[in-house]
Amino acid sequence: YAQLGYLTFGVQVESFRALQYSIYTLFLIILGIFDFQSLQQAHRVLGPLFFLTYVFFVFFVLLNMFLAIINDTYIEVKAELRNKKNEFEISDFVKRGYAKMRERLTVKRDRIADIRKALSLADLNRDKILEFDEWRLEMKSRGYAEEEIETIFAKYDFNGDRILDENEQRALRNDLLRQNDAVLREIDQLNLSNNIVPKDEQCTSGDPRRKASTAPGKCLPANEVSMEEYQDLAKRLDSMEASVGVVLTKIDNVSSKLDTYEKVKGNNGKDKKHNRTSDAAIDSRENYEFSDPIHLSNKRDFNS
């Protein structure tokens, strides 16, 4: 249309005298700024026909087509957002906390059972006296660190002779038994705090990932999570903790900067107030000198 307007009305209409002016004139027509009379004077038929066809195609075809494309895209995006599952839900948060608690209790229970087994097998010569070397050898074979081995042994070696007699071994065994009972009670309380679903419903209505992560023919209970779910939830929690840490650091930086700014502002205010007070005192003294006739007469006598 710009080329057509330039070729048709370039000689007669000022706004179509060049191609760039023709493009600019067509843009003004879209905005509602046009000179229809000049087109009609240039040609009685082509002028109005050019104007009407341009308005028809631009407003009723192209713009409506663009609006339809934008509207369809908006509807598709809105439908995707509506059907998209939330990245983080409160149920995921509760499940994550339950899984971490159960994992911690399970590790603690297995550790206590391992130490109890090591205590029963460490006495190699069966003399009912457990030496530190025997204890260290057995615990080392189970993957315990040197500090942990030393700490456990020293806690129950009451006389410090590097040997656990029958009484000291009994104290260690009873302490491990009490710890194991406490862990089992915590696990039972944790299980009671969650709704227990029958096994048939667990295997029929459970998540497919729970079935895939277990052995064939088995299904995890409703109050347990698969390793895949646990790893996914752990990654989410780690990312959330990292984000919160960054935000807290930024807040601390902003707070420290605000405190520094307040201190600097307070010091500047005190200096300005002091300067204003000094200036006011000087002005008042000068005014007093000029307004006091006795002072002025004395000053004249002194000058003379």
Is pLDDT of 214 > 60? no
Q: Could you tell me the two tokens for 278?
A: 């000094």
How many percent of the chain have pLDDT more than 90?
A: 0
Q: Which fold has domain 90-194?
A: Recoverin; domain 1 (1.10.238)
Domain ranges of the chain: 2-82, 90-194, 238-304
Q: What is the pLDDT of residue 299?
A: 47
Is pLDDT of 138 > 60? yes
For residue 86, the Cα-to-chain-centroid distance in whole angstroms is 15
CB contact set of 135 (below 8 Å; sequence gap of 6+):
118, 122, 149, 153, 164
Q: How many CA atoms lie within 13 A of 229 on its CB side?
A: 26
Q: Which residue has the higher pLDDT, 63 or 53?
A: 53
- pTM exceeds 0.85: no
Mean of the per-residue pLDDT values for the chain? 75
Whether the CB-CB separation of 176 and 116 falls below 8 Å is answered with yes
Q: Give the whole-angstrom CA distance, residue 259 versus residue 256.
A: 5
C-alpha angle 190/192/193, rounded to 5°? 65
* Three-state SS at 277: helix
